[in-house]
Amino acid sequence: MAAYQGLREQLVPTRQAAALAGVSRTTVYRKPAPPRETAAVTPPNKLSPVERAAILAALNAPEFVDLAPMQVYAKLLDAGVYLGSLSTFYRVLEENKQVKERRRLAKHPPRTVPELVATAPGQVLTWDITKLAGPVKGKYFDCYMMVDIHSRFIVGAHVHASESAVLAVEMMKEIFGIHGIPDVVHADRGTSMTSKTVAALLSDLEVTRSHSRPRVSNDNPYSESLFKTMKYGPMFPERFASLGDARAFISEFVDWYNHDHQHSGIDFHTAANVHYGLADGVAKQRSETLAAARASHPNRFTKTTDPKILALPGPAWINQPKENTEKLTA
């Protein structure tokens, strides 16, 4: 209509102005209805401020302050008192920003974030237990695995018919006897990992215990990654026919993972080479091979340095400590 009014002010005929503005002539000739003045009508059942204050006072009374509004409403009726409807109770609470949990809530202190660093093999070991499907539905075998986070070397793997802290201790004693006693043993918060049996062994050996935060799988990344590599591999069966079959498979997998698998997390070295200090020689051989290729075909190389993915692996972290992060960014 604004365009039409502008054309009319320029003395354009009504019909022509309506056509140019794209409005109907009936709309042009229709007189606008006068604005209606509506007075605010107060509902007859609206509570007065004094009555609403009485409801709030009752809800916040010492004997009712920890109760839900529905319970307060029922108890007042039992006492022969009616202050308003249940929905009014909630509206009064909403007006006063008190619609929330009225009881005292338990406050749990924040869990400590595990911050571990390993600069060499044998310093930090992490372990976990995963289920292996048995011959029938509902039947599972338990696979215990412990891995060195610096070298990614699987230092121990046992398969049993059940999960038990005693079996976990037997595995640890065997591992410590072969690979030495580590500084730290990290695990999640499973029943075996937090058991008194395991805690007693580590305490006697003066090994620091470390645990993941509840429901934070990223706090145990090396074990989680190891299990994913195993279970998502093409040779992993849907079910194991027997406990012996499961043990045979895990034995073959551990041998492949430690000695054949070139792990991207340790610059494509094998876990055994890093664990036993052979990675330096492998890295030197790779560098010499690249240098010879660079000399033979210089036009094929744009850089004179080796790719970073072929470097020697550095420190391994579980939640990199803040002080080390600040040093790297400084």
Q: How confident is the model over 218-235, as pLDDT tens digits?
A: 899 999 999 999 999 999
Q: Tokens 């591999």 identify what position?
A: 233
For residue 233, give Cα distances in angstroms to 237, 261, 268.
9, 12, 18
Note the pLDDT of residue 6. Answer: 81
What value does the mean pLDDT of the chain take?
Answer: 89
Bridge partners (DSSP) listed for residue 158: 144
Residue 186 neighbours by CB distance under 10 Å? 25
pLDDT band at residue 216, thresholds of 50, 70 and 90? confident
More confident residue, 246 or 217: 246
Question: Does the structure show a pLDDT above 90 at 243?
Answer: yes
pLDDT band at residue 40, thresholds of 50, 70 and 90? confident
Question: Does the structure show a pLDDT above 70 at 150?
Answer: yes
Distance CA 152, CA 154 (A): 6
Note the pLDDT of residue 329. Answer: 46
Question: Does the structure show a pLDDT above 60 at 249?
Answer: yes
Distance CA 106, CA 204 (A): 35
Note the pLDDT of residue 4. Answer: 77
pLDDT band at residue 173, thresholds of 50, 70 and 90? very high
Note the pLDDT of residue 324. Answer: 57
pLDDT band at residue 330, thresholds of 50, 70 and 90? very low
Q: pTM higher than 0.85, yes or no?
A: no
Question: Does the structure show a pLDDT above 60 at 325?
Answer: no
pLDDT band at residue 202, thresholds of 50, 70 and 90? very high
Distance CA 127, CA 165 (A): 13
pLDDT band at residue 46, thresholds of 50, 70 and 90? confident
Note the pLDDT of residue 91. Answer: 92
pLDDT band at residue 323, thresholds of 50, 70 and 90? low
Q: Average the pLDDT over each of 67-76, 86-95, 102-111, 258-267 and give the range with the smallest value.
A: 102-111
Helices of type H across the chain: 2-9, 14-21, 25-29, 49-59, 69-78, 86-95, 165-179, 196-204, 221-231, 243-259, 271-275, 279-296, 322-329
Mean pLDDT, to the nearest integer, of 205-211?
Answer: 95
What is the per-residue pLDDT across 271-316, written as a single tens digit (0 to 9) for each? 999 999 999 999 899 889 999 998 999 888 888 888 877 778 889 9
For residue 231, give Cα distances in angstroms to 43, 102, 130, 171, 235.
68, 47, 10, 22, 9
Mean pLDDT, to the nearest integer, of 132-153?
Answer: 96
Note the pLDDT of residue 119. Answer: 94
Q: Average the pLDDT over each of 15-19, 74-78, 190-194, 324-328 and give the range with the smallest value.
A: 324-328
Q: What does the radius of gyration of the chain's CA atoms come to, in whole angstroms? A: 37
